[in-house]
Structure 1
Amino acid sequence: MSDTVTPSSGLEQTRRLGVETTGIEIIEESARTARPQDLFWPWFAANVSVFGLSYASFVLYFGISFWQSVVVSVIGIVVSFLLCGIIAIAGKRGSAPTMVLSRAAFGVDGQKVPGVISWLVSIGWETFLAILAVLATSTIFTRLGWGGGTGTKVVAAVVVAALIVSASVAGYHIIMRMQSVLTWITGIVTVLYMALTLDDIDWGAVQDIPAGSLQSVIGALVMVMTGFGLGWINIAADWSRYQKRTASGPSIVAWNTAGGALAPVVLVLFGLALAGSSTDILDGVAGDPIGTLATLLPTWFLVPFLLAAILSLVSGAVLGIYSSGLTLLSLGVRLKRPQAAAVDGVILTLGTFYVVFVAQDFAGPFQSFLITLGVPLAAWAGIMISDIALRKRDYDDEALFDASGRYGSFDWSSIGLMVAASVVGWGLVINTFSDDASWNNWQGYLLGPLGLGGRDGAWAFANLGVLFALLIGLVGGYLLRRTTVARQEA
């Protein structure tokens, strides 16, 4: 069929040209040679970043104890990447990008509703990672006495953007090989960082951190889930579409979860000990996460640390921009995949320059943006997971590209459910960065009517909206769409 890519136009062209030409079309069976264990490398490389250490400060800012933070971090990281693993099953069932597979649940045209949200989240994440790399370079160059001013930031922004865009334009096969190499480099340097900063941990201070309320624990849990697995869930099947159709579903889930969760669990737990030992680290991370962590290092290790930090951030951004390009194509944009990745690369570059050179603060607005888009994304994830659970057969490949096919043009039950879940979710979260993102102060409108204390009450910072949106999408999708899915598979 016309939407199928043959091996000669896929992997062989990639080897010959150095650029993957496959876009959102279905992968030919003979080109699907990946194994479940291959999923470990891209997910591990993208999440072994030392930036994971800084999440510890964000967790402790909720006012909870070290041991509460440990429980929250482990559960939040593992569960959120487990959800990514479930979404990844769809990739081997349909050998298409995540947002194309989402057409089975939302309709071929209806998929554009969550597709736009997915594209914005991916663009936001990749730009955020690029910004961190630029700020880290400036801080470390200043520490080395090499100058960390405007010139350094400009060069760093150009180099970082070029690395991200080049790899994402090259495509899947190049990225998979690159990630397997970056895993070792960033992993070794990260272990050395932990060894060199072990003496900075004050276990007495860590143990003395007082316990927080149940509401604070839930708020920290949701933040961890949103910042880790739920931040990747909209692209989870993009990396499993080259899996053999006979690959084990549980194995795909397991390797996806292990690759994504292993490094963050270790990094965040170590980061909790560091941040809990020093208020300087705890407060400094908000403005420049990686630069603050670098202040604990001896001078001789700063250059290896900088290189590993940049590579790890680039690794994560590459996954994001590759997938955001695929999402852009799924929305109907008439471009080839490398061109779509390049377009997103231009947006990333402009966003990085704006934040680094114009904006006064980015951590607050970004986290506000993350929670806001995290609500509808969680609703989509719930609906998508319920759709995967209901289906007993592989996807009808041709119907994913035909609005008159079995999946139809619009699935109004899914779209309506996503809207309803988002309305409820936004009503149960608030903008905790009102000074930095005043444009987002409209949320939290259900906290008062539901007896949860209003915008200033104990539940205001629990971010219940993300969990409710996920559960409404999951349970609602399973109950409302059983007949629809059965009819589609008849």
Structure 2
Amino acid sequence: MDDKLIKVPEKDKTLTPGKLFYNWFAANIGIMGFVYGAMIVSYHLSFVQAMIAALVGALSFMIPGWVAMIGQREGITTFKLSRAAYGTYGNKIPNGIAWFNMVGWLAINVITGTLLLVSLFSVIHVQKNSLTTAIALIIFGGLVLLSGLLKEATLAKIQTWISWIFGILTALILILFLVKANWKQAMDLPTGSWVTGVLPAVSIVAAGSGISWSMAAADWGAYVKPNTKPAATFWNTAMGGAVPLFVLMAGGVLLSTIEPTLSTASNPFDVMYSALPSWIGVIYFLVAAGGLIPQCIVSLRSARINLSTIGINVSQRTSLIIHGLIVILIPVYVLFISGNFLSNFELFLNFLGICLASWVAIFLCDSVMFRRGGYDTKLIDPQSPAHYNWGGIISWVIATVTGFLFTNNAIWNGPFAHGIFRNNSLGVFVSAILAIICMFIVKLFKGNQHDEKAA
């Protein structure tokens, strides 16, 4: 197999550390950061504990930083690299998770855009009801589909400008929150549990940020200039995502002192809007809604690519119909049947976090234990006879299933979800830790073998 068909061509490796930082910064300066802050507060933590949870959760971006370094070293994107850990057929497991991840975030962005429009309707004195919510969903969903006609270069330019405008407006809003925050109330919040409060808060933030983004990290790292120091790739990836996320989550925590209902509201954006001066609220929400559209299109196209990688090849029209139905049906359920955005969002992050935490733990353990001398491209070739790497596959299954056994939520009640594991997301940590243990056992059986040759 020609390595040129596996690795990114040298001429395409044009990303600098600064560009890497900006890409991750732009991807994480969205309005959802405030929602994460509200979710942290819902764990009944003190102000200091909430800030610690936000900081540690944001620093989960060190995981994508690590994955990006591997991508730079090898010049290979994420899901090609993961073939070594799972086998060419077994790799369909993380590919399937990636598709679910993309479709889930696409649906969340559509829901968020719809709720933003519903909040803005109040400016023109339109009463909130099922009809106006349906109209908002049609408008935003329609814009997403229409913007799919735009070229990638045009979308990138739009996203760049929106990121700058959104970043400046966000800074202004954070200043407003700092001024309006009830600091006495914030400092007087009682101390919560470190085990059943802080740790689950960290895990739910990490699930939706560092752990989730790790699936795309090597896709950026592989395009970094060859003479770039690996440490620069690591820190620009990690801090590019962590800095804006932490600042926004801190803003969400402060906003919760002004609007205590933020963490329990069915539409948190209504609460946010009511806390802002109307002039900046309108501009901010319009820019936030506009910024979601290019993200939706990128997710839609990425979802189709993941389907193709799994082996499901469909035309662009069929893909649009399949994913269009999914991302409409999910918002319809959340907006009209369930009626609670935050609880459904947390449920999604909980399930996603358990699956992805075990995946990235196995991916990194495999890299450290068996690929220190580099990846054998023969294992990454889609025609490789190494169809299944049973060590990675079995480790993922055991870790993921066990994580669910220690988890309970609105639709699942694990048999071991008792005591400190009750009503929280500690199953994410269980999944990651057990995956690491399983990989150590695999290492003991394989000894110092450099590359698996499972077939």
State the SS of the aligned residue for 1:27: coil
- The question of whether the paired residues in 1 share the 8 Å contact of 2:334 and 2:344 is answered with no
Does residue 468 of structure 1 match 2:430? Answer: yes
After superposition, the C-alpha distances for 1:217-264 in whole angstroms (9 at most, x for unaligned) are 212221221132223222222333332345432222211111111111
Partner of residue 72, structure 1: 53
Q: Which aligned pairs between 1:195-210 and structure 2 lie closer than 5 A?
A: 195-210=175-190
SS in 1 for 2:30: coil
> How much is the aligned-residue C-alpha RMSD, in angstroms?
3.1
Letter in 2 for 1:472: L
Distance 1:101 1:147 in 2: 51
1:238 matched to 2:219? yes
TM-superposed CA distance for 1:154, in Å, is 4.4
Question: In structure 2, what is the Cα distance between the partners aligned to 1:483 and 1:446?
Answer: 33
C-alpha change, 1:335 and 1:150, in structure 2 (3 Å) is same
Question: How far apart are the structure 1 equivalents of 2:361 and 2:246?
Answer: 24
2:358 corresponds to 1:387: no
Match of 2:208 in 1: 227
In the alignment, does 2:64 pair up with 1:100? no
Please give the alpha-carbon distance, in whole angstroms, between the structure 2 residues aligned to 1:32 and 1:173: 18
CA shift digits 1:300-328 (9 cap, x unpaired)? 22321112221343455455434333322
Which of 112, 125, 132 is the aligned partner of 1:132?
112
1:239-254 alignment to 2 at 5 Å? 239-254=220-235
Tell me: CA distance 1:34–1:126, structure 2 relative to 1, closer, same or farther (3 Å): same
**Per the alignment, in what secondary structure is the counterpart of residue 136 of structure 1?**
helix
- Identify the residue that residue 83 of structure 1 maps to in structure 2: 63
Task: Give the deviation of 1:75 after TM superposition.
Answer: 1.0
Contact kept, 8 Å, 1:387 with 1:485, in 2: the verdict is no
Residue 356 (structure 1) aligns with = 335
Asked if residue 419 in structure 1 is aligned to residue 383 in structure 2, the reply is no
Q: Distance in 1 between matches of 2:423 and 2:91?
A: 31
- Post-superposition Cα deviations, 1:425-482, rounded to whole Å, max 9, x if no partner, equal 1122221xx3xxx3x23x2x224xxxxxx2xx34424532211211222343355246
Distance 1:362 1:278, change over 3 A: closer
Shift of 1:389: 2.5
For 1:308 and 1:278, locate their aligned partners in 2 and report how far apart those are by CA, in whole Å.
22
- Gapped runs of 5+ residues in structure 1? 6-24, 448-453
Distance in 1 (alpha carbons) for counterparts of 2:367 and 2:434? 16
1:347 is aligned, of 319, 326, 329, to 326
Return the offset for 1:212.
Answer: 0.8
Question: Does 1:306 pair with 2:276?
Answer: no
Q: Residue 466 and residue 254 in structure 1: after superposition, are their counterparts in 2 closer, same or farther (change >3 A)? A: same
Could you say which residue in structure 1 is the equivalent of 2:442? Answer: 480
Q: Structure 1 335/2 Cα, relative in aligned 2: closer, same or farther at 3 Å?
A: farther
The structure-2 alpha-carbon separation of the partners of 1:468 and 1:462, relative to structure 1 and needing over 3 Å to count, comes to same
Q: What is the TM-score with the length of structure 2 in the denominator?
A: 0.87
Which of these residues, 276, 280, 291, is aligned with residue 297 of structure 1? 276
CA offsets 1:52-108 (integer angstroms, 9 cap, x no match): 112222111111111011111101111x11101112234334545422321111000
Structure 2 residue identity aligned to 1:56 = G
Residues 144 and 296 in structure 2, CA contact (< 8 A), matched pair in contact too: yes
Structure 1 residues 320 and 154, CA gap change in structure 2 (3 angstroms): same
Task: Supply the distance in 1 between the matched residues of 2:120 and 2:268 (Cα, whole angstroms).
Answer: 12
* 2:11 partner letter: S
Q: Partner amino acid for 2:181?
A: I
Secondary structure in 2 aligned to 1:125? helix
**Does the 8 Å CA contact 2:267/2:340 hold for their aligned counterparts?**
no
- Distance change in 2, residues 1:356/1:259 (3 Å): same
1:328 to 296, 299, 307: 307
SS of aligned partner of 2:451: helix
Shift in Å at residue 171 of structure 1? 7.3
Shift of 1:357: 4.1
Deviation at 1:370, TM superposition (A): 2.3
CA distance, structure 2, for counterparts of residue 88 and residue 249 of structure 1: 9
SS class of match (1:486)? coil
What SS does structure 2 have at the residue aligned with 1:242? coil
Displacement of 1:177 in angstroms is 4.2
Rounded Cα–Cα distance in structure 2 between residues aligned with 1:375 and 1:249: 29
Question: TM-score, normalised on structure 1?
Answer: 0.82
CA-CA distance at 1:338 after TM superposition: 9.6
Deviation for aligned residue 1:269: 1.2
Report the Cα distance in structure 1 between the residues aligned to 2:248 and 2:293, rounded to whole angstroms: 18
Alignment match, 2:43: 62
User: Could you say what secondary structure the match of 1:487 adopts?
Assistant: coil
Distance, in Å, in 1 between the alignment partners of 2:435 and 2:383 is: 23
The DSSP-based 3-state class of the residue aligned with 1:73 is helix
Deviation at 1:124, TM superposition (A): 1.0
Kept in 2, the 8 Å contact 1:110–1:415? The answer is yes
Which letter maps to 1:332?
G
Output the CA distance in 2 between the equivalents of 1:368 and 1:383. Answer: 23
CA 429–353 in structure 1, closer or farther in 2 if over 3 Å, else same: closer
- Residues 3-82 of structure 1 aligned to structure 2 (within 5 Å): 26-78=7-59, 80-82=60-62
User: What's the CA shift string for 1:19-69, capped at 9, x where partnerless?
Assistant: xxxxxx753332222223222223212211222112222111111111011
